[in-house]
């Protein structure tokens, strides 16, 4: 059976390595890990303010993980990882502060409501609700560690 179109990606290979290759993803969503030394506040923000579904907190000390809080948004898993040892803070500066992963996006039914829930919890509001392009509304907030979370409504 062929995978659905959303699960198929074509990887363009350098010509000397041969033909194109297709990779099949096994679920509709993706997993994202955020490493923090602020586990309780991050769990509270993503579970109680954003509204992600809490699955469990697990420990994998053999891998250097004191706690991994697992939270779901439909088929996507957010892993809030608290290391067993102190780690250096990442780069700050928001979306254009440096290269690399700078924010992630959650599709919601009402961007305005999502922003207001975050505001009432004391989160920094980066962008108020605004139209990004015709038919697409966005807003951006900051979590307790300074990571940016975008909400999008289509």
64-83 pLDDT tens trace: 999 999 999 999 999 999 99
Q: Rounded mean pLDDT of the chain?
A: 87
What's residue 79's pLDDT? 96
C-alpha 130/C-alpha 54 separation (Å) is 29
How many residues comprise the chain?
154
- 7: helix, strand or coil: helix
Task: Please check whether the two domains, 28-85 and 93-154, share a CATH topology.
Answer: yes
Class of domain 93-154: alpha beta
Residue the block writes with tokens 């179109």: 5
Q: What is the pLDDT of residues 113-149, one digit of tens each?
A: 999 999 999 999 999 999 999 999 999 999 999 999 9
| SS (HEC) of 104-146 | EEEECCCHHHHHHHHHHCCCEEEEEEEEEECCEEEEEEECCCC
Protein fold of 28-85 = 2,3-Dihydroxybiphenyl 1,2-Dioxygenase; domain 1 (3.10.180)
Structure tokens, 35: 């490493």
Would you say 129 and 141 are in contact if contact means Cβ atoms under 8 Å apart? no
Beta strands per DSSP E along the chain: 8-11, 21-24, 31-35, 53-60, 65-73, 76-83, 103-107, 124-133, 136-142, 148-153
- Tell me the domain boundaries of the chain: 28-85, 93-154
């Amino acid at each position: 059976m062929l995978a659905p179109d959303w699960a198929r990606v074509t990887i363009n290979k350098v010509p000397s390595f041969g033909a194109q290759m297709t990779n099949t993803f096994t679920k509709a969503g993706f997993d994202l890990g955020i490493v923090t030394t602020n586990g309780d506040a991050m769990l509270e923000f993503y579970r109680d303010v954003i509204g992600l579904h809490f699955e469990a907190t697990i420990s994998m000390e053999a891998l250097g993980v004191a706690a991994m809080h697992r939270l779901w948004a439909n088929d996507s898993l957010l892993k809030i990882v608290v290391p067993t040892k102190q780690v250096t803070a990442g780069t700050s500066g928001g979306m254009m502060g440096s290269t690399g992963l700078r924010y992630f996006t959650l599709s919601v039914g009402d961007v305005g409501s999502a922003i207001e829930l975050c505001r009432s919890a004391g989160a920094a509001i980066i962008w108020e609700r605004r139209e990004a392009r015709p038919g697409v509304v966005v807003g951006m907030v900051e979590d307790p560690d300074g990571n940016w979370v975008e909400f999008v409504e289509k």
